[in-house]
Amino acid sequence: MDKVNAKKRQSKGASSRKEGASMKKLSLAIALACGTATAADEPTYTNGVADIINNNCVVCHQKGGIGPMTFENYEQVRPWAPLIQYKVASREMPPYSYDHGIGIQDLQGDWRLTQEDIDSVVNWVNAGAPYGDRDIVVQPPNLPDPNEWTFAADLGQPNLIIPSVPLDIPANGNDMWHKHIVDSGVTEDRCIKAIQVKPLGHAKAVVHHANSNLYIDGQTGGMLTEYAMGKWGELVPNEVCRTFPANAQVRWDIHMFPGGVGATAQGQMIENNVVEIGLWFHEKGFEPKYKQDLSLYRLGNQADIVIPPHGTYMTQGFHSFDHPVRIDSWQPHGHLRMNAASFEIFHPSTGRTEEISQVSKWSATWHHSHIFSPMSAPLVPAGSVLILKQWYDNTADNPNNPDPDMWVVGGSRTGDEMTHNWLAVTHLDDEEFDRLSAQRMLADANTD
Ligand code: HEC
């Protein structure tokens, strides 16, 4: 089975490398033919760069957004060009840390720019960040209405809305966390079809991200979903039931920047700040083919974590199932010292270890659940072993480290460390596993 997963990846990697090489050849040919590069092939704001910024940055870097500056037009963008170049070239912006060239690259809700777009921005700034042809009309950013639910057009209004407890956010101050438990009012098990988290009104300028967990009989019962500005929500794959259990409560964990990061809400107090979860359920009586759960997988014992001052640390965990599964998403979790995570699968039948995902510049500022596209999500035979690793850096080289002189232990305070992963797992039987494997073989054969 690992062959099927690997094949998909190799063919992808090869084709993008080919594109890159032919692009280079093309621009070399133009440069040779003309003596020097002509103005026409230089990226300008109106000729490409505005589209890249409008489609990938303005959602946060707009009036009322969480970005510290606005990029809505050339006049706003131009002064920041060198910093934009740096942040784009280093892949720090858009903020989505996931390694290129390793494992599955086919993700849903992936904010990363293509190498081609990165090159355009870099070349544009090197050329002096020119405006370009005044006759070209720049298309305005196509931003969704922040007050409307993403899935409303297709699925209508949510079946259930669960609001957080309102909170007044001061005009200025340090980061704030709002953690509390609310009732859902759901009295029987339901199958989730889609889910989205949305801050109301002015809240969107100050809510950095919001996690929500299910809470059942006083215990964490799995992650519900998570919000960061720019996310449109999550659709559960076809034929799959992710259960919202009867009588579950929801535990909110909302991270806010009072006053906004700088662009807009500065100096403005926000009253009754509320974040809402919208849930779309399948009809009662829906008979799913598969069950999915979003569960926490620990990597060793958190209580064992002891990271010396100026030291490093690593944890790993292993999991296997007695039936085949499909892994639909992966989200590593740690705090300020954690700086990398990886996900591999060992197949005892072949002795091969398959790379699935790696994040080598992890930061607790942005929590991402990496959702594998349905045709790429790893299919795992019974007995294959998930290998989850996380690395910690308590030295001064770690830019997120508040104090390298401290001993760091396992715990839930921001200054402590954690070691776990969230995985969305769809449980299969042998027949379904074979059917899904065959489907992929066929799809691969058709694209070759
Ligand atoms: C999901 C929201 C989001 C998106 C999308 C986003 N940014 Fe940002 N950006 C932020 C936030 C929040 C900050 C400030 C905190 C930080 O640096 O992480 C920031 C900071 C920056 C900074 C300033 C860094 C500094 O050191 O002062 C630059 C430059 C920047 N972003 C450029 C971009 C560009 C260019 C894009 C698109 C290619 C982009 N951002 C996309 C949210 C976003």
Q: In this structure, what token pair is assigned to residue 225?
A: 């979903």
Report how far residue 316's alpha carbon sits from residue 415's, in angstroms, rounded to the nearest whole number: 21
Looking at ligand 1, which residue's alpha carbon is closest to its atom 37? 57
Looking at ligand 1, which residue's alpha carbon is closest to its atom 36? 57
Report how far residue 272's alpha carbon sits from residue 100's, in angstroms, rounded to the nearest whole number: 41
Pocket test for ligand 1, best of 52, 54, 58, 60 (most atoms within 8 A of CB): 60
How far is Cα of residue 181 from the mean position of the Cα atoms in its chain? 24
Q: Measured in angstroms, how far is the CA atom of residue 184 from the centroid of ligand 1? A: 34
Q: Measured in angstroms, how far is the CA atom of residue 87 from the centroid of ligand 1? A: 8
- How large a percentage of the chain has pLDDT more than 70? 87
Q: In this structure, what token pair is assigned to residue 376?
A: 């790429």
Per-residue pLDDT at 40 exceeds 70: no
Q: Measured in angstroms, how far is the CA atom of residue 437 from the centroid of ligand 1? A: 40
Q: Measured in angstroms, how far is the CA atom of residue 277 from the centroid of ligand 1? A: 25
Q: Measured in angstroms, how far is the CA atom of residue 313 from the centroid of ligand 1? A: 29
Say how many CA atoms lie within 13 Å of 153 toward its Cβ: 4
Pocket test for ligand 1, best of 61, 121, 256 (most atoms within 8 A of CB): 61
Q: Which pLDDT score is estimated for 46? A: 95
Please give the C-alpha separations between residue 144 and each of 106, 113, 233, 426, in angstroms, as whole numbers. 23, 19, 12, 31
Angle at 279 between CA 277 and CA 281, to 5 degrees: 170
* Per-residue pLDDT reduced to its tens digit, 295-324: 778 887 788 899 999 999 999 999 999 999
Number of residues written out for the chain:
448
Looking at ligand 1, which residue's alpha carbon is closest to its atom 25? 83
Contact 401, 311 (CB under 8 A): no
* Per-residue pLDDT reduced to its tens digit, 175-232: 788 899 999 999 999 999 999 888 887 777 777 778 888 888 887 777 788 776 666 6
Q: Which pLDDT score is estimated for 278? A: 94
Q: Which residues touch 399 (CB under 8 Å, ≥6 apart)?
A: none
Q: What is the atom index within ligand 1 of the atom nearest the CA of 83? A: 29
Q: Measured in angstroms, how far is the CA atom of residue 378 from the centroid of ligand 1? A: 31
Choose the weakest-confidence range: 117-131, 262-276, 372-386, 404-418.
262-276
Choose the weakest-confidence range: 109-113, 152-156, 234-238, 263-267.
263-267
Per-residue pLDDT at 30 exceeds 70: no
Average pLDDT over residues 118-128: 97
Per-residue pLDDT at 10 exceeds 50: no
pLDDT band of residue 282 (cuts 50, 70, 90) is very high
pLDDT band of residue 20 (cuts 50, 70, 90) is very low
Average pLDDT over residues 33-38: 40
Q: Measured in angstroms, how far is the CA atom of residue 54 from the centroid of ligand 1? A: 13
Please name each of the domains of the chain with its CATH number. Answer: 2-126 (no CATH), 157-281 (2.60.120.230), 290-446 (2.60.120.230)
| Amino acid letter, 41 | D
- Full-model pTM: 0.81
Q: Both ends of the chain: CA-CA distance in Å?
A: 18
Comparison of pLDDT for 35 and 431, the residue scoring more: 431
* Per-residue pLDDT reduced to its tens digit, 413-422: 778 898 888 8
Average pLDDT over residues 113-135: 96
Task: Give the pocket of ligand 1 (CB within 6 Å).
Answer: 56-57, 59-61, 66-68, 80, 83-84, 87-88, 93-95, 111, 228-230, 261, 365
Q: Which pLDDT score is estimated for 260? A: 56
| CA dihedral for 95, 98, 99, 105, sign (positive or negative) | negative
Average pLDDT over residues 10-36: 39
Q: Measured in angstroms, how far is the CA atom of residue 260 from the centroid of ligand 1? A: 13
Looking at ligand 1, which residue's alpha carbon is closest to its atom 12? 67
Pocket test for ligand 1, best of 87, 92, 229, 366 (most atoms within 8 A of CB): 87
pLDDT band of residue 26 (cuts 50, 70, 90) is very low
Q: Which pLDDT score is estimated for 29? A: 41
pLDDT band of residue 151 (cuts 50, 70, 90) is confident
Q: Measured in angstroms, how far is the CA atom of residue 67 from the centroid of ligand 1? A: 6
Going by the DSSP 8-state scheme, the letter that residue 185 receives in this structure is -
Comparison of pLDDT for 95 and 65, the residue scoring more: 95
Comparison of pLDDT for 96 and 109, the residue scoring more: 96
Looking at ligand 1, which residue's alpha carbon is closest to its atom 29? 84
Backbone angles phi, psi at 364, to 5 degrees: -70, -5
Q: Measured in angstroms, how far is the CA atom of residue 304 from the centroid of ligand 1? A: 36
Comparison of pLDDT for 428 and 7, the residue scoring more: 428
Mean per-residue pLDDT over the chain, rounded:
84
Going by the DSSP 8-state scheme, the letter that residue 427 receives in this structure is E
What DSSP element (H or E) covers 176? strand 176-183
pLDDT band of residue 17 (cuts 50, 70, 90) is very low
